[in-house]
Structure 1
């Protein structure tokens, strides 16, 4: 074959490959647009349900810390606002979403009121998550130190893509004596219409949350928008060791993602049961393999997820894992008629985690996240009770039902599968 013929053949192959890739992207875009359109139309027809089960609040003591688990937004917000409104020295508030609605205004008024009383107030909120909120809403008192975590940062151009995550954390610390962490953002929707879980800590281990906030602030205070030039000083030592309560922090700027490792270790150690609640379930291969291996060695594995979440694309990417999970006898519990946004897991009645990280790649290897890893049978028992009550509002997906889904659904799952690493 002549050199000219070889060149023409290479050019033809390159053209075919390029057209094939473009065609595949076009199919992906068409599938996504179709799913979003269908979801938008059907979402308006769905009846909003606010009478889903409310497991209540649960109290326990771990080491020297008093713990309280919240499962209903109104209860949580009432206690958070009370703590801010009675703060004497320090308020540290960090959130991913801060809506400009009634609940959002209450929190704004509370932190401004604390600042007027002379309390040292620091606020962090994510810029990307609040792009739809008018900037004028965030009318903070001049004494409030504010960091709007930026959507675009110069470091994005010079770092690994995994180091460019959003600030997905939700933390409140008041006077170094009480701390809150969990899945609840700030907004009226979450007060009554979503099922979520948050943890309150009172005692020495509040230091873990304070230190996490201080590290986030001091590392990013010169990169965000707002009055964030002042460092939190002095950073204080814990002066104690408590291995039963530990904050697990993802720090994308340093490519530090311990949350994933914590989940892997706990799942691999499981011998009796694994109860996971997550709003978005898009695990990487190693996490998926660990879950499947646990089920195959006889562990009772249950994953509780929304039947329909607020992100249609995440739902469809998640469904691509269902066949392997069901074949391994993993129980898939679909929470009905309401959004469940809790990010919790409890294993063998001993180990638990409550935090901000979803079981997806954005949370495990992308965003700034925080969770409290706790070794305690009483708190694990409370989370098991919450899981049991939530399960009463679920239907269990069977392999037979899943196998009978329409061919169009199978096609959509296959086309969207390459997007999993992005979410």
Structure 2
């Protein structure tokens, strides 16, 4: 009897392992087929049209919003050129192309002139960038961020975070934050959003850079933090995985829960956790117009597949989904009721909301919200709306692929 029970447990264990192997192999097969099919997808016909920068004034701060990368880079280069004291640049990706080289060379020039220059980029995200390009002038304080420093860090979830922030501060009075990485691809062929802040609120963004630098770059000169008084109109939110603090997610949930009229969301990767998804569905249920704008085809095929696992629930509950055509839209923005806006680096996915170092800024300004809603409406010209009827008629193979891949959402 005891032997038969032992055998049954062994058989149960074997059956579990076989089932697990089948699930994993199915996921890998779907991913492989998707990657192969992606190679045969038609080349996008780019449809980026330049929206000019828009300006506002909030609480004494000059606000400029950029949706075309070359406009943003031009403004950044101008401000770096005019810097007198300190420059801080943080970028998730820094390409070794004409744009990347121009910014790198200008930073070296300013460092030789006596301006203190701090540079941070994510080492893992830039693995494919040639090593010589990642060698900066010795006059520049350079930190190549690595998520883990030692083997044991691999077993600490707090140490697996990437530095996904895109931040620049010039002389503590001018700051930039948003979705643009550094590179010509992003400047000319992607649709993204960045904001420039000139005024006292930039001190708080400088403090966010200094806090990160001082906590991570242990062997390099420390930065003295200098914060402005907290503004009720402009407020940065900073995810800090080491301290297990993820206020950007809470910011989104609170804004969604308070919405009464409409919510406009733009994100390149839509893989929300259940609480965020429930907040959006609850808003739609109480009559709020919820509009979600995502790329029809992003630069991450697996993220596209996972995003589609949420479309059925969204469409059934009245959330309108718009698919951006012809180019990659990488903006991470939202507006609520024409009063509240956020622009930043965090996507609506698990990695951004619960994993990576991120920074978003929220604005309480009807003028900024009006500008952002105008940009959203403009982007809709390059979109097609996905209907529930069309979605229900998608191929069975796609539905099976979504089912197989849906357990992978915690990893994106």
TM range (shorter): over 0.9
The 3-state SS of whatever aligns with 2:40 is helix
Matched, 1:46 2:37: no
Aligned to 1:152: 148
Give me the whole-angstrom Cα distance separating, in 1, the residues matched to 2:153 and 2:168.
31
Aligned to 1:259: 248
Give me the whole-angstrom Cα distance separating, in 2, the residues matched to 1:247 and 1:47.
35
In structure 2, runs of 5+ residues without a counterpart are: none
Give me the whole-angstrom Cα distance separating, in 1, the residues matched to 2:151 and 2:205.
26
Deviations 1:89-119 (A, max 9, x none): 1000000000011111011111101101100
Q: 1:109 aligns with which of 83, 105, 114?
A: 105
Q: 2:134 aligns with which of 134, 138, 149?
A: 138
Q: Structure 1 residues 124 and 263 mapped into 2: Cα distance closer, same or farther (>3 Å)?
A: same
The 3-state SS of whatever aligns with 2:343 is strand
Matched, 1:185 2:175: no
Query: How much has 1:154 moved relative to structure 2?
Result: 3.0
Deviations 1:245-267 (A, max 9, x none): 10000011111100000000000
The 3-state SS of whatever aligns with 1:128 is coil
Instruction: Say whether the 8 Å CA contact 1:257–1:364 is kept in structure 2.
Output: yes
Aligned to 2:78: 82
Q: How does 1:150-299 map to 2 (within 5 A)?
A: 150-154=146-150, 157=153, 160-222=156-218, 229-232=220-223, 234-238=224-228, 240-299=229-288
Query: How much has 1:344 moved relative to structure 2?
Result: 0.2
Matched, 1:13 2:9: no
Aligned to 1:309: 298
**Runs of 4+ deviating beyond 3 Å:** none
Aligned to 1:63: 59
Matched, 1:351 2:332: no
Aligned to 2:28: 29
Aligned to 1:404: 393
Deviations 1:160-189 (A, max 9, x none): 415421000001100111110000000010
Query: How much has 1:155 moved relative to structure 2?
Result: 8.2
Give me the whole-angstrom Cα distance separating, in 2, the residues matched to 1:243 and 1:179.
18
Give me the whole-angstrom Cα distance separating, in 2, the residues matched to 1:362 and 1:382.
29
The 3-state SS of whatever aligns with 1:82 is helix
Give me the whole-angstrom Cα distance separating, in 2, the residues matched to 1:324 and 1:350.
27
Query: How much has 1:159 moved relative to structure 2?
Result: 6.4
Query: How much has 1:151 moved relative to structure 2?
Result: 4.5
- The Cα RMSD (Å) is 1.2
Count of residues in correspondence between the two structures: 412
Q: 2:360 aligns with which of 371, 374, 377?
A: 371
Instruction: Say whether the 8 Å CA contact 2:44–2:327 is kept in structure 1.
Output: no
The 3-state SS of whatever aligns with 1:200 is strand
Give me the whole-angstrom Cα distance separating, in 2, the residues matched to 1:236 and 1:168.
23
Deviates more, 1:137-146 or 1:253-262: 137-146
Query: How much has 1:411 moved relative to structure 2?
Result: 0.3
Q: Structure 1 residues 155 and 293 mapped into 2: Cα distance closer, same or farther (>3 Å)?
A: farther
Instruction: Say whether the 8 Å CA contact 1:156–1:164 is kept in structure 2.
Output: no
Q: Structure 1 residues 219 and 141 mapped into 2: Cα distance closer, same or farther (>3 Å)?
A: same
Q: 1:391 aligns with which of 380, 383, 403?
A: 380
Instruction: Say whether the 8 Å CA contact 1:164–1:253 is kept in structure 2.
Output: no
TM-score computed with the length of structure 1 as normaliser: 0.95
Query: How much has 1:329 moved relative to structure 2?
Result: 0.8
Q: Structure 1 residues 156 and 37 mapped into 2: Cα distance closer, same or farther (>3 Å)?
A: farther
Q: Structure 1 residues 301 and 200 mapped into 2: Cα distance closer, same or farther (>3 Å)?
A: same
Give me the whole-angstrom Cα distance separating, in 1, the residues matched to 2:44 and 2:260.
41
Instruction: Say whether the 8 Å CA contact 1:127–1:148 is kept in structure 2.
Output: yes
Q: Structure 1 residues 241 and 10 mapped into 2: Cα distance closer, same or farther (>3 Å)?
A: closer
Instruction: Say whether the 8 Å CA contact 2:238–2:360 is kept in structure 1.
Output: yes
Give me the whole-angstrom Cα distance separating, in 2, the residues matched to 1:360 and 1:323.
17
